Structure 1
Amino acid sequence: MIVAKFSDLFTPLCERLGCRFPILQAGMGGVARAELAAAVSQAGAFGCLGMVRESPEKIRQQVHQVRSLTDQPFAVNLIPAATQSELFDAELDECIRLQVPNLVFFWDVVPGAVRRAKDAGCCVIHQVGSVEQAVLAEASGADVIVAQGVEAGGHVHGVVSSLVLVPEIVDAVSVPVVGSGGFASGRSLVAALALGAQGIHCGTAFLATVESFAHDIHKRRVLDANAGDTIHTDAFTINWPPHSPVRVLKSEATQGIESEPFGHGERIEPREQIAEEEGRPVYFRSTDSPLKSMTGELHKLAMYAGQVTGQVKDVATASDVVDRIVSEAVATIHQLSECK
């Protein structure tokens, strides 16, 4: 009888990133701060700080905090397309100064940014939503490609499911590929490996954890929702380029657009302030999601969640989420081996 082991999940990606398990935590802006990233990495997976449009000082503080909590590898997520060029340059400079070993980029591939990171000795992970962007990312120097299907929560750059996209990208590039969108369980990890990926990239599964910086109202909404309770729309546009689709939970903010989810991506004027974060105004239909540091009408903000939201049943620790995925994956491999 073949007995499945944790080591069966150790892929070349794990060796490349220095983690025990091929589970990458998404660098969710605002939500993925030091406590979450460190907890994920400490559990044997791969944590990531979501530092989109954050100041160099904030990045420095968060990186130092992660390093005080764990000695395991982690990454920092930056998004050139959603960040003013001067700020992005300052963010990248600070990451390089801090000798952050791994950087995650998303949205449009900016070859110059990839080259700067690579020249500084960073491992570059690039999240994409199409085969064309995957090929460009690899040509620009990316070491790992995250293939994001349309099922994913948050900003979604592609239009096809991960079931279709992952094997297409695996066949198109020579670097390791990670499946994103629809992955929150051990069974889905095994499925991703069967599709040719070397790991999975999870956002929603880690959003509703104890260590997540998401506000409790957001975590509760994720727990209460099912797969059919999300909407793919471009209505949340403030802070990002127009026509940048997201997947969010249906809410008061999506009423009136659910039957026609696209075509709302123009700039919203005048802006309606509905919340604030330590003195910073937060506007209706901005890309801000509810965070612990915010006050106001938080139920009107973007409640990011992927279609796997129905699989998230409780607010667990990040370690428990990793353990659950790993244990279920090992059990699934064992069951499949018994079918031979």
Structure 2
Amino acid sequence: MWNQNSVSKILGTHYPIIQAGMAGGVTTANLVSEVSNSGGLGTLGAGYMSVDNMKLAIKEIKNQTNQPFGVNLFIPETPIVNEEQITNAKRLLEPFKKELNLTDNSSFSELQTEFEKQVEVIFNEKVPVCSFTFGAPSKELVKELKKEGTIVIGTATTVEEAVINEENGVDIVVAQGSEAGGHRGTFLDSFQHSMIGTFALVPQVVDAVSIPVIAAGGIMDGRGVSAALALGAKGAQMGTAFLTCIESGAGASHKRAVLESSEIHTVITAAFSGKPARGIVNRFTREMQEFESQLPPYPIQHALTKRLRKEAGKQGIPEFMSLWSGQSPRLSRNISTKDLLISIVSEVEETIGRLNE
């Protein structure tokens, strides 16, 4: 059976399908638990979460499923703070804030990472699976997590990043292609040099490491999962496919934007966070495009636009929201998580059967 392989055995899931840990409120306890209850691996995107909210979400997930689930954390970054850049960024954001009737009282409190405390929660709550993005977890951290029985997943956007993850001891590595929505996990080279498509990246990573590889980036259905398996991956990670599910915490405007968009409507932008990310093009990305090189890096710009994005979401104004999406929005569906998993599994089996005819 295609679904019982090294990844599903390591994770303890029925299918080697992982719901990506999308940060920012998309991965509700309902979404995560429904994915796990349906045979995949649900993942809580905890990158931006406070320790208290993270604990609460994990407890809610445990109350809703007895199946394995994961938590995704961001390896902390320490940018150089340039006051001139910050002043310029605030000036550029002012017209958008005025339209939303927002006063500028931006705070940099979220620059103080709670990564160490978040890791403590992983230990204390005995989280079954922990994945990392924006860097490779240290050998020491991986060793401690595995000692407690936690499965560790790394993220790579190049072969070299995958090799580093393996050297540091992770159990599984996600090979994340350039088609992926939102922020990708690039950490070794420049973003521009790491824009390798999923079909090109996955087989090269498979050949370079001995641990199981998960394919990610633009995969939306069973055809994509089948293609990933054909390339040598042992499973697939999917983000945008779950973003438009009923249980997703994405706002109605965000879901609608993805559901109504096509492959020509996504753009790579650093305007919202200071780190390049793929989303649906809107007025904010268009008007800020020429100024991106002047903006402060992540997570400073992310902090500066936080209230703007939040207020735009409250007011239902998608033109000022970060509408993260992968490159296959035409394939998105507004259905239940359970129905999506059933559909994906059926499509994989149908595709494999067709290839065997």
TM-score by length of 1: 0.85
**Structure ranking higher in helix proportion:** 2
Distance 2:224 2:244 in 1: 18
Q: Which residue of 1 aligns with 2:34?
A: 39
Q: Which residue of 2 aligns with 1:230?
A: 266
Distance 1:90 1:84 in 2: 14
Look up the equivalent residue of 1:204 and give its one-letter code.
T
Structure 1 residue ranges, 4+ long, deviating more than 6 angstroms after superposition: 268-274, 288-291
Q: Which residue of 1 aligns with 2:69?
A: 74
Instruction: Output one character per residue of 1:150-205: Cα deviation in whole Å (capped at 9) or x when no partner.
Output: 00001023311010110111111111100000111111111100100000100000
CA RMSD of aligned residues (A): 2.5
How far has the Cα of 1:79 moved from its partner?
Answer: 0.4
Distance 1:181 1:210 in 2: 21
Shifted more, 177-186 versus 295-304: the winner is 295-304
Q: Would the aligned equivalents of 1:125 and 1:145 in 2 still touch at CA under 8 Å?
A: yes
Distance 2:339 2:312 in 1: 23
How far has the Cα of 1:108 moved from its partner?
Answer: 1.6
Distance 1:289 1:191 in 2: 40
TM-score by length of 2: 0.82
Name which of 156, 170, 175 aligns with 2:206.
170
Q: How does 1:283-322 map to 2 (within 5 A)?
A: 283=308, 294-295=314-315, 297-312=317-332, 314-322=333-341
1:266 paired with 2:296, answer yes
How far has the Cα of 1:295 moved from its partner?
Answer: 4.8
Q: Secondary structure at the match of 2:195?
A: coil
Distance 1:271 1:329 in 2: 38
Look up the equivalent residue of 1:211 and give its one-letter code.
E
Q: CA 1:191 to 1:66, structure 2 compared with 1: closer, same or farther past 3 Å?
A: same
Instruction: Output one character per residue of 1:215-259: Cα deviation in whole Å (capped at 9) or x when no partner.
Output: 01100001000111100122222xxxx4x210010011111356x
Distance 2:56 2:302 in 1: 31
Distance 2:59 2:291 in 1: 41
Q: CA 1:17 to 1:65, structure 2 compared with 1: closer, same or farther past 3 Å?
A: same
Distance 1:271 1:154 in 2: 13
Name which of 13, 24, 29 aligns with 1:19.
13
User: Identity of paired residues, percent?
Assistant: 34
Structure 1: state its 5+ residue gaps. 1-6, 275-280
Tell me the matched-pair count. Answer: 314
Instruction: Output one character per residue of 1:254-301: Cα deviation in whole Å (capped at 9) or x when no partner.
Output: 11356x696354259999988xxxxxx6235xxx7976xx45645411
Q: Which residue of 2 aligns with 1:3?
A: none
Q: Would the aligned equivalents of 2:282 and 2:318 in 1 still touch at CA under 8 Å?
A: no
Q: CA 1:194 to 1:290, structure 2 compared with 1: closer, same or farther past 3 Å?
A: farther
Q: Would the aligned equivalents of 1:233 and 1:261 in 2 still touch at CA under 8 Å?
A: no
Q: Which residue of 2 aligns with 1:209?
A: 245
How far has the Cα of 1:105 moved from its partner?
Answer: 0.3
Q: Secondary structure at the match of 1:124?
A: strand
Look up the equivalent residue of 2:163 and give its one-letter code.
V
Q: Which residue of 1 aligns with 2:100?
A: none
Q: CA 1:235 to 1:115, structure 2 compared with 1: closer, same or farther past 3 Å?
A: farther
Distance 2:15 2:176 in 1: 19
Name which of 229, 242, 249 aligns with 2:280.
249
Distance 2:42 2:353 in 1: 27
Q: Would the aligned equivalents of 2:295 and 2:301 in 1 still touch at CA under 8 Å?
A: no
Name which of 51, 54, 73 aligns with 1:56.
51
Look up the equivalent residue of 2:271 and give its one-letter code.
A
Distance 1:142 1:88 in 2: 18
